[in-house]
Amino acid sequence: MSEADGRDSSLSPRERYASELRSCRHFAANDQARAIAHVELLYHDLLAAEQRETSGFVGKIFGFNKPPTSPVRGLYLWGTVGRGKTYIVDTFFDCLATDKKLRIHFHSFMRKVHRELRQLRHEADPLALIAQKWASQWRVLCLDEFHVGDITDAMILGNLLRALFDNGVTLVATSNEAPNDLYRDGLQRERFLPAIALLERHVEIFELIGGTDYRLRALEQAEVYYSPHSNAVAEVLGERFLTIAPEPGTVGGSIEIDGRNIATKRHADGIVWFDFKTLCGGPRATGDYIEIALCHHTVVLSDVPIMDNDASDAARRFIHLIDELYDRNVKLVFSGAAGPEQLYVGNRLDALFKRTASRLREMQSHDYLARAHRCE
């Protein structure tokens, strides 16, 4: 059983999906069922590959250490927002009975790549070294919200993917774009085309069409702004979190940003719940807000107080937070002591906060809630 949510981790993806349908933890969707069938095949292909590699005399004595030179063909799951891509990959990932796997948001993955490159800047072929190191740690790499935004990342990614595939890593990715549309209209895109061809050779491409945006439907089922805050509202926020999240997630704990841990009330893939004091009550770099906005499509924020001149620092941080969430179309579910226009009663930041209040109103609208998350 999974300690985080009590689900049976011994089930295959298809069995887990069927179990959650029976228990009403999930709802049926034809395209999702077809996608689950694809990850089920991949799941069994990976199990068979590992059994082959550990069945020999050496494998029995020493165990599996060296990755295969030819990886199991992975999966690239794409489609518009809110179709359940993250849920499907999370189901697959949770069912894999191995520690040699990594599930990470694409933006965080690229930050990890750049950190490694800085440490290996004097090496002749740092990407090859990175791939060898990671292939010894992971057999399966799951990247959420795969997206290429600039020529530097495009070139790094193409070479890194080749090295990872050469070292036997299987890639599973979600994206809002088909592979052929990656880095479209980007500078010197022709240099990235070989990487697209490489990707297409090593993953099966599945478009999750579906006519319903389940995330939007979940967001519009109830309010996204609650006032005033109370224990009853806190319970409602918890229910809203579970409705939107692809899985129950982790209660408490923290997320890591640039080596710093930020406490959360709850977090799951793509969604995180913070208390206002945690995010805005003390010193916080704007970069933290940027990272939160890039890696999460939904933020739950509880207990926003009424702020005056004495709380100008907290108010300014709140302004910066909302700016970053708004600029990247992050959905916000939150509770406050008053309506948006009454959350700031000072005069030092009056003009700035009027814009914030206006954005908070807009972020409750259908048009805003229907926008795709900008993870770049």
**Chain Cα centroid distance, residue 65:** 29
pTM beyond 0.85, yes or no: no
* One fold for 13-207 and 214-369: yes
Q: Which of 246, 26, 38 is nearest to 145 (CA)?
A: 246
pLDDT reported for residue 324: 93
SS (HEC) of 22-38: HCCCCCCCHHHHHHHHH
Distances (CA, A) of 61 to 54, 98, 272, 315: 9, 19, 44, 61
Domain ranges for the chain: 13-207, 214-369
At the topology level of CATH, where does 13-207 sit?
Rossmann fold (3.40.50)
| Residue matched to tokens 């295959």 | 12
Cα separation, 372 vs 18, whole angstroms: 29
Q: What is the pLDDT along the chain (376 residues), one digit of tens a residue?
A: 333 444 455 789 898 888 877 665 555 556 788 889 999 999 999 998 888 776 654 554 444 555 556 789 999 999 877 677 888 898 899 899 888 999 988 988 998 999 999 999 999 999 999 999 999 999 999 998 898 988 899 999 999 999 999 999 999 999 989 999 999 888 889 999 999 999 999 999 999 876 556 666 767 766 889 999 899 999 999 999 988 887 788 898 999 887 789 999 999 888 999 999 999 999 888 889 999 999 899 999 999 999 999 999 999 999 999 999 999 999 999 999 999 999 999 999 988 999 999 999 999 988 888 888 887 6
Cβ(331)–Cβ(366) below 8 Å: no
pLDDT reported for residue 120: 95
Give 214-369's CATH code, choosing from 2.60.40, 3.30.70, 3.40.50, 1.10.3470.
3.40.50
Cα separation, 246 vs 89, whole angstroms: 10
